[in-house]
Amino acid sequence: MKNSTVNDKIDKEVKDARRVTKNSHFFEIWNRMKRDKNCVISLTFIGLLFFVAIFANFLIDESLVTTQNVAERIQGPSSAHWFGTDLYGRDIFARVVYGSRISLSIGILTTIFATAIGSFLGAVAAYFGGKIDNIITRVSDIFIAIPEQLMAMVVVAAVGATPISVMVALGVVVIPNRCRLVRSTVLGIVDTEYVEAARACGMSDISIIIKEVMPNTLGPIIVVSTQGVASLILTVSSLSYLGVGIQPPTPEWGAIIFEAREFLRIAPYMCLLPGAVIALTALAFNLVGDGLRDALDPRLKD
Amino acid sequence: MIKYIVKRSLALIPILIGVIFLIFTIMEFAPGDPVVKILGIEATSEAKEQLTIQLGLDKSFWERFASYLYNIVIKFDFGISWRTKNPVFEDILPRIPVSMALASLGIIFATIVGIPLGILSAVKQYSLSDNILRVVSTTMVAIPAFLLAMLLILLFSSKLGWLPSGGIESLKSYILPVLTSGGRYGCTVLRITRSTMLEEIRQDYVRTAKSKGVPNKIITYKHALKNALLPVITTIGQNFGAILGGSVIAENVFSIPGIGSLVVLSIRSKDTPTIIACVVLIALFFAIIMLIVDLLYAFIDPRIKAKYVKVS
């Protein structure tokens, strides 16, 4: 009886100690990130973007996105129309706000899915080595041999130009890259003592990969993925701009510019203001990625 | 050394076959019947049947892929374009030099601008010039290529009227496209040069050299730069894909008749043979560039060189 209470006590202490170290590690990283002014500003901006995207229907009437008003077409920015109006007299600001839902969800969801699949494949390849590694590496080599933007364009051409198929296309591009990154990171981990210890304890290969190996690759994955969101947002908008991605009248950011590109000289605001939103979003994700990298590994800080 | 070159070159073959297979398979999913696309809806059923056999559409996927691959390798025949009805290769051929010129100029521009500015930024860390370069390069990387192209057109073509906004009539018309595809890329090169230089400068051998009294200039250019260049060269090669992607946008915005604008045109008109051919050719260029980078690497890095000299 007494013995068990002692054991409980020890257990509790160990648990507390674990929690403290876990928290303090997280806390330390967060503290280091807070010192990076660019990172904090960018995080605030991204938070604001998410807020606007999620609560768009409370902030701006959804009908504004599609309402055409020929009398007010091609008007510059004003207090009534912050970003001006387009060819059909639609409010560009409302379109950009609702477009943020598409651009952000494509960027984030693709990153999450593709990173999960890609990293798992990479970890499996590096952990097992041999034939499995060979097959996974060769196949991803083939995918990487095709420039990313081109690959995405071809997949969209084959499966259609809906937001879902654009996500699939971008996933096809991102998965081999993550796979390669994680494989090279895991190769350095496989031979460490704690993996050996886990194996000695009789853990199955899959749970070693998921519980022991992958958490230790999280640092680089998070950094690359954050910046990956930025590059995905740029790629999505480029595809729509070329007319091979999401098609107008869907208010995707690139599609808005695609519709306006004939008017670049007459009404540059129609292209430049939505373009600036794209650039700022990409910039914010890049800066958060930089901040995370420095916070996770202060040695890398320049 | 020759062994290394041969080995690396041979490794390209399975990758290229894989690329052809991959694109061929993806385009299998493309909706629409090619026969209807070529002949139109009103064609007689006999004509349709004849074309089906002519295109080999009655055969299985593997048979078609085998004959497609055979035609490419033996005759360099990529089939007939569904849009222009010409052999695809004839459509592409005149566009290759244009795209090559654009991509090479872009890469040259990026290297010439990126590496020296990266070194400057690293050597004078936290100085005014470093800060300006950092802000500019971080911003440039976030600006989508088409937006950059638009800004360049507005400034240099509309406002100042110095440069044409499209076509390839003169050498001048290449300036804006090269700035578009090479500018972003140059900023990537700058950032990588800066960070690898900073890493090298902190190494022990640099401290040793400093304490020996070696002048700073020699440390920077002879010691640190030599080591920093290796990762920079790799990144330049790996990012060549990005510059090819950037050229697609530049070619479209500035209406340049290159492979990039052909790809977009064929995707919009669902011209599958041309799409496959363009992607395969671009992947081929990309693979050759990576091969050159690898060989260059082996040439510069004494560790790789030693490995193969010992073997042979």
What does A24-89 look like in DSSP terms, one character per residue? HHHHHHHHHHHH-HHHHHHHHHHHHHHHHHHTHHHHS-THHHH---GGG-S----SSSTT-B-TTS
Task: Report chain A's C-alpha Rg in angstroms.
Answer: 24
- Candidates B17, B29, B141, B159, partner chain A, best to mutate (most A CBs within 10 A): B141
Q: Which residue of B has its CA nearest to A239?
A: B249
Choice among A158-162, A298-302, B58-62 with the minimum mean pLDDT? A298-302
Whole-number Å distance between alpha carbons of B199 and A301: 10
Q: Closest Cα to residue A222, out of A29, A47, A46?
A: A29
Which segment of B140-149, B163-172, B196-205 scores lowest on mean pLDDT? B163-172
Residue A158 has pLDDT above 80, yes or no: yes
Q: What percent of chain B has pLDDT over 90?
A: 1
CA atoms of A50 and B16, how far apart (whole Å): 42
For A208-229, write each residue's pLDDT tens digit: 888 888 888 888 888 889 988 9
Contact A154 B264 (CB under 8 A): no
For the residues B270-276, what does the mean pLDDT come to?
85
Q: Which of B30, B147, B287 sits opposite A279 (nearest CB)?
A: B147
pLDDT of residue B312: 44
- Nearest chain B residue to A299, by CA: B199
CB pairs below 8 Å between A and B: how many? 140
* Predicted local distance difference test score (pLDDT) of residue A2: 56
Cβ under 8 Å to B: A residues 218-277 = 230, 234, 237-238, 241-244, 254, 257, 261, 264-265, 268, 271-272, 275-276
pLDDT for the residue numbered B204 = 86
Nearest chain B CA: its distance from A195 CA (Å): 30
Token representation of residue B136: 């500019």
Rounded to 5 degrees, what angle do the CA atoms B67, B68, B73 make?
95
List all residues 6 or more positions away from B198 whose beta carbon is below 8 Å from its beta carbon.
A302, B122, B125
Interchain CB distance below 8 Å, B144 and A234 = yes
Range of A267-271, B58-62, B113-117 with top mean pLDDT? B113-117
- From chain A, the residues in CB contact with B249 under 8 A are 149, 238, 241-242
Compare all CA atoms of chain A with the CA of B255 and give the residue at the minimum distance.
Answer: A242
Find the length of chain A.
302
- What gap in Å lies between CA A254 and CA A256, rounded to an integer? 5
Q: What percent of chain B has pLDDT over 70?
A: 95
pTM of the full structure: 0.84
Give residue A111's pLDDT: 93
Q: For chain B, give the mean pLDDT.
A: 82
Strand, helix or coil for residue B83: coil
| Residue B208 pLDDT > 50 | yes
pLDDT at residue B221 in the model: 81
d(CA B201, CA A236): 38
User: Which of 1.10.3720.10, 3.30.450.40, 3.40.50.150, 1.10.287.610 is the CATH number of A34-60+83-300?
Assistant: 1.10.3720.10
When CB atoms are compared, the residue of B26, B158, B245 closest to A149 is B245
Task: Identify the closest residue of chain A to B253 by CA–CA distance.
Answer: A242
Highest averaged pLDDT of the listed ranges A175-184, B83-92, B214-223 = A175-184
Rounded mean pLDDT, B235-251: 79
Q: Do B242 and A159 touch (CB under 8 A)?
A: no
Question: What values do phi and psi take at A151, rounded to 5?
Answer: -60, -50
Rounded to whole angstroms, what are the CA distances from B107 to B103, B167, B181, B261?
6, 20, 9, 19
Judge: B147–A158 Cβ closer than 8 Å, yes or no: no
Enumerate residues 125 to 164 of chain A having a beta carbon within 8 A of any beta carbon in chain B: 138-139, 141-151, 153-160
Instruction: Read off the tokens for A227.
Output: 């910046």
Judged by CB atoms closer than 8 Å, whether chains meet at A268 and B22 is answered as: no
Q: What is the pLDDT, as a whole number, of residue A18?
A: 61
Q: Above 60 in pLDDT, residue A21?
A: no
